[in-house]
Amino acid sequence: GAVVSQHPSRVICKSGTSVKIECRSLDFQATTMFWYRQFPKKSLMLMATSNEGSKATYEQGVEKDKFLINHASLTLSTLTVTSAHPEDSSFYICSARVAGGAYNEQFFGPGTRLTVL
């Protein structure tokens, strides 16, 4: 099956620093990738939709200057949390949709746990 990786799996950083999270589709091309945020024991909340070669589409209430998304190739999207603060601590999950797929099946990465001190 399609595999999506995320790196790093866990990161701890100091308040004020920026953190970059990578999402890669390993064995398929993904024209669209999605970034989700998940709080403990809560559901996934879509942050933004990332399309290869174009600007990301952010969900209402998500600060685009805070969460920078770059989808530079068909297999890589990055999320940069800029000037991170403790309230940004969360579990971030990406997913990738198969290009040309018949339906909106998304393959999810294993997630990145961000802790901001």
Partner 1 sequence: SQQGEEDPQALSIQEGENATMNCSYKTSINNLQWYRQNSGRGLVHLILIRSNEREKHSGRLRVTLDTSKKSSSLLITASRAADTASYFCATDDTGFQKLVFGTGTRLLVSP
Instruction: Between 66 and 91, name the residue whose CB sits nearer to partner 1.
Output: 91
The residue ranges that bind partner 1 (CB under 8 A) are 4, 6, 32, 34, 41-46, 49, 91, 93, 95, 103-111, 113
Longest dimension (CA), the chain: 43
Compute the least distance from the CB of residue 94 to partner 1, in Å. 9
Compute the least distance from the CB of residue 86 to partner 1, in Å. 19
Give me the phi and psi of 81, to 5 degrees please.
-90, 110
| Separation between Cα atoms, residue 4 and residue 109, nearest integer Å | 5
Compute the least distance from the CB of residue 60 to partner 1, in Å. 10
> 95: which strand partners?
34, 108
